Amino acid sequence: MDYASPIAITAVAVIVTIAGAIDVRHFKVPNMLTVPLLISGLAYHAVSGGPAGLESSLLGALFGFGVLIGLYILGAMGAGDVKLMTGVGAWLGASTTVYVFAVAAAATALYSLVVLMRHGRLGHAVATIQVTMFQFKTLAKHLGANERIESVVNREDRRQRLIPFGAMIALGVVAVLVWRQFELG
């Protein structure tokens, strides 16, 4: 199954770019983007690849869902981000979605460092991470795991506390697709 087809690349690139822009502005990734992305990815690969295409698409969607659902359950990730990664997985398959997630996670880490440094909280974050090695529960309480992301979105300081992961997924998709094009060409 060719997950680097022009149709797959175009569909995913357009939707994640729009979703990323919306996420940066509103800290939400709307269902009107994520649900059609998922359904169209499954349908496209079922039609173009038959049962094997549908199976590969489902595995990609399951990976995209599975890699983020735990963070959502803990309140550290929005549902839209989970659904966006699920849709990306349906279009790009599991192996490419692994790379997208890796790039998105790295971009998130870098973004977090910049935000922490900009607000003078890097030293505090490093100390917290050191404590975490001894007691994970301490970090969860410090970072507000009891505070669901939905309640933080409307706070004035949300830009200091939240990361628009939909935008990070968009960066991951673009980086991986560009890398794959150079690799294939």
* Arithmetic mean of pLDDT, 76-96: 94
Average pLDDT, the chain: 84
Share of the chain above pLDDT 90, in %: 46
Of 55 and 128, the one with more pLDDT: 55
pLDDT band per the 50, 70, 90 thresholds, residue 147: low
User: For residues 139 and 133, what is the distance between their CA atoms, to the nearest angstrom?
Assistant: 9
Is 80 exceeded by the pLDDT of residue 180? no
The most confident of 1-5, 12-16, 170-174, by mean pLDDT: 12-16
By the 8 A CB rule, do 14 and 41 touch? no
For the chain, percent helix, then strand, then coil, each to nearest 5?
Answer: 80, 0, 20
In this predicted structure, what is the pLDDT of residue 32? Answer: 97
Minimum mean pLDDT range among 11-20, 72-81, 136-145 = 136-145
pTM for the predicted model, two decimal places: 0.77
Contacts 24+ apart (CB under 8 A), 148-153: 148/75, 149/75, 149/76, 149/77, 149/78, 150/78, 153/27, 153/28, 153/78
Minimum mean pLDDT range among 4-8, 104-108, 112-116, 137-141 = 137-141
In this predicted structure, what is the pLDDT of residue 132? Answer: 55
Tell me: the pLDDT tens digits for 162-178? Answer: 778 888 899 899 888 88
In this predicted structure, what is the pLDDT of residue 143? Answer: 54
